[in-house]
Amino acid sequence: MKTAANMVVSIHYTLKDDSGEVLDSSSGREPLSYLHGHGNIVPGLEQALEGTAAGHRSQVAVEPAEGYGEANPELVFEAPREQFPADLKLEEGTRVYAEGPQGRITFRVVELTEKGAMLDGNHPLAGKRLHFDVEVVEVRPATKNEMEHGHVHGEGGHHH
């Protein structure tokens, strides 16, 4: 069976950045299962897997625009200390949430400053070229239920 829209594809993958640092990997876990053609994985990887079958191994480089998007500089700004809850321990990596017109945005504290903190609301992988080592483990048709939900159920997918 070949990877196409509405197929459930199980993959093992290792994700590295340009410097070769491993950012994420399914190694030692069950494979990642996703519903193909529904935007459940980054577009560049989904396109590269189109038409592949179980046993297919490849190296895929994904540009930011086909990955987690370009970093938006407007989502990086300094916020003064008094804008944070008084009991919040501010340090690098602290996550804070803000409601915006597009819903809730997660901001990471990237640096502490004299006045407060620099916040970054971009996805941590935004603006990065992604390098995947990927192996297709299994391809099967999605169930009707999975197609209605737009995601995979069971092993490697949603449990509900």
Residue ranges in contact with Zn ion by CB under 5 A: 149, 158
Nearest distance, CB of residue 160 and Zn ion, angstroms: 6
Residue of this chain nearest to Zn ion (CB atom):
149
Nearest distance, CB of residue 71 and Zn ion, angstroms: 31
The smaller minimum CB distance to Zn ion, of residues 34 and 132, is found at 34
What's the CA gap between 97 and 75, in Å, rounded? 13
Nearest distance, CB of residue 158 and Zn ion, angstroms: 5
Nearest distance, CB of residue 34 and Zn ion, angstroms: 13
The smaller minimum CB distance to Zn ion, of residues 102 and 145, is found at 145
The smaller minimum CB distance to Zn ion, of residues 123 and 149, is found at 149
Nearest distance, CB of residue 150 and Zn ion, angstroms: 8
The smaller minimum CB distance to Zn ion, of residues 35 and 48, is found at 35
* C-alpha dihedral, 16 to 142 to 156 to 136, nearest 10°: -40
122, 76 Cβ separation under 8 angstroms: yes
The smaller minimum CB distance to Zn ion, of residues 96 and 152, is found at 152
